[in-house]
Amino acid sequence: MNVLVGQAPNLTAADLEYIGELSNPGQLCLYHIDLESTANQTITDVALQNSGTEDVELPPGSSVVIGVNSISPNLEHAEESGSHGNETAAIP
C-alpha cells in the first residue's frame, strides 16, 4: 500500500514512518507521516494506492486518519476575492 500526495494527477509516493511500538506485524501496523506543502509542491490530494495485484481487505478495526493542522491561504484567490483564507481547520 502506498500513500500518494500532490495535485492529481501528478502524485508522488510519500515515505511512511513505521511505528513498531504500536504495530503487530502480520496483523495491524501503524504508520505515520507529516505532510507539508512547499514552494515546489502544493498538496491538495492524498490517496491510498494498492501497489500489489491482489485486492487488499482491511480487517475490522482498521482505519485511515488524516488530520489537518493548518490550511494556507491561496494568495492568488485571496487577492481576487478579498478573502484571507483559512488559517486552521479542526477535525472533530
Q: What is the pLDDT of residue 54?
A: 93
Cα distance between residue 56 and residue 29, in whole Å = 14
82 contacts: CB under 8 Å, gap ≥ 6: none
**Domain spans of the chain, in order of start:** 2-53+60-81
Tens-binned pLDDT, residue by residue, of the chain (92 aa): 889 998 999 999 999 999 999 999 888 888 998 888 877 778 888 998 998 999 988 888 888 888 777 776 665 544 444 444 434 333 44
Instruction: Note the pLDDT of residue 27.
Output: 81
Predicted local confidence at residue 18, as pLDDT: 93
